[in-house]
Amino acid sequence: MAAPTKICSCPAPADQDRLIQFTNCRLVRGHQLLRDDLWVRDGKIINPEPIFFDEQSKAHSRIDCGGAIIAPGYLDLQINGGYGVDFSYDTDTIEEGVAKVARGLVKSGVTSFCPTLVTSPSDSYHTILPRIPTAVPEGAGILGIHAEGPFINPQKKGAHPENCIQTIDKGLSSLESTYGSLERIKIVTLAPEKVSDPQVIGQLVERGITVSLGHSMASLGDGERAVKQGATLITHLFNAMLPFHHRDPGLVGLLASDAVPSGRTVYFGIISDGVHTHPAALRIAYRTHPQGLILVTDAISALGLEEGVHHIGQLPLEVKQGKAFIAGTETLCGSIAPMDECVRIFRRATDCSIVYAIEAATLHPAQCLKIEKQKGTLDFGSDADFILLDDELRVLSTWIAGRRVHQTAA
């Protein structure tokens, strides 16, 4: 199918109260691709029936989408930075840095994200957390902060600085003193085997914080106990955890555990950038536990940068052949694949449906954070954050609150 062109001549309405009708499109709705129109008013997706019968109104604007797919905007629950910005280290310019990333992400169809802070000194958390903006004009929305550490296992620290790793030795007060405040935090990644107080996970969940298990040497039993206490997410499956073993499958075993409480879904982030997770591993995860799979980029500051050497943080990075290396070496230093590319790679690797690939980056993360009434779907009443895609899942345009914030050049 050729890329839609009629959309290009239609400016995004400036008046949020206007009724907008998107026509000649296919909607990702109800786990299907449906030929239907999308109606938007006041930043929300609305049911057109009351418009016709009660209000007897017509659309103020009609936008012909040229046969494109309309999908919910992508949600990225784990991203460390991009476009030369590192959320954990650019303390002096964090407001501008987050805004730059938020405006860059809409190019890849991301309409909401969790800025992710890796293990850092307590002073850094106290400085950075209060200064991360809650909203960015013309940029992706901010769902809250993902604190990936510092309560992790040093044996699986990955790129996290070992001297900053801490233990939870004073219950919830350990986290409050480390972060300064839990108010802005949406996700905490911790190693469950390092949590001595069994109440901590439940206390975090009671505050609306999603507890994720990762950077861990946990056994399956450790993981199951944490899930029973309220943990619902695994951080970048297969990475920074014990490899699968047939006698004790570790955190990976949670995908098939029979000890997960009835009605509870264990979600897991997975990086499908073509580098960090082998296609066979993607297929194993998808076929084992499809309802819990969430695509994350785990992208670093080199996301969106041109090929060449870039001086970011402590070490110069080199972007070449679509990968990021420590300059002058062949050592990989993080993911730089944007979310739309991760979705395409995942679909090719697993041969899943178009709808499933999209839902792994929309519906599933929204369900994990319990925000599926607002984000991650095109249901009536949800936020009008959506993207137009062609049949190859290339982003044609991105809309937030019913306003177009990005359009790919024809």
- Starting at the edge strand that comes first in sequence, how are the strands of the sheet with 20-23 ordered? 44-45, 38-41, 20-23, 61-64
Was 332 annotated as part of a binding site? yes
CA distance 166 to 68: 49
Was 159 annotated as part of a binding site? yes
Was 236 annotated as part of a binding site? yes
Residue whose C-alpha is closest to residue 159's, from 342, 336, 331, 338: 331
Was 190 annotated as part of a binding site? no
Was 160 annotated as part of a binding site? no
Residue 69 is inside which H or E element, if any?
Answer: strand 69-72
Was 246 annotated as part of a binding site? no
H-type helices in 207-246, by residue range? Answer: 220-229
Instruction: Judge residue 128's burial from the number of C-beta atoms within 10 Å of its C-beta, 0-12 exposed, 13-18 middle, 19 or more buried.
Output: buried
H-type helices in 180-322, by residue range? Answer: 199-206, 220-229, 279-288
Was 305 annotated as part of a binding site? no
Was 135 annotated as part of a binding site? no
β-pairing, 395-400 vs 386-389, is antiparallel
CA distance 214 to 268: 10
Q: DSSP assignment, residue 299? A: B
Was 18 annotated as part of a binding site? no
Count how many Cα atoms sit within 13 Å of the Cα of residue 409 in the half-sphere of its side chain.
Answer: 0
Could you give the dihedral angle defined by the CA atoms of residues 128, 133, 134 and 138, in that order, rounded to the nearest 10 degrees? -150
Q: DSSP assignment, residue 306? A: P
Q: Is 298 noted as a catalytic residue in this protein?
A: yes
Was 163 annotated as part of a binding site? no
Was 240 annotated as part of a binding site? yes
Question: Which residue out of 298, 340, 383, 385 is catalytically annotated?
Answer: 298
User: What would the DSSP string read from start to end of 8-61?
Assistant: GGSPPPS-TTS-EEEES-EEEETTEEEE--EEEETTEE--HHHIIIII----SE
Residue set of the binding site: 148, 159, 215, 236, 239-240, 247, 276, 332-334
Residue set of the binding site for substrate: 159, 239-240, 247, 276, 332-334
Residue set of the binding site for Zn(2+): 148, 215, 236
What are the residue numbers of the active site?
298
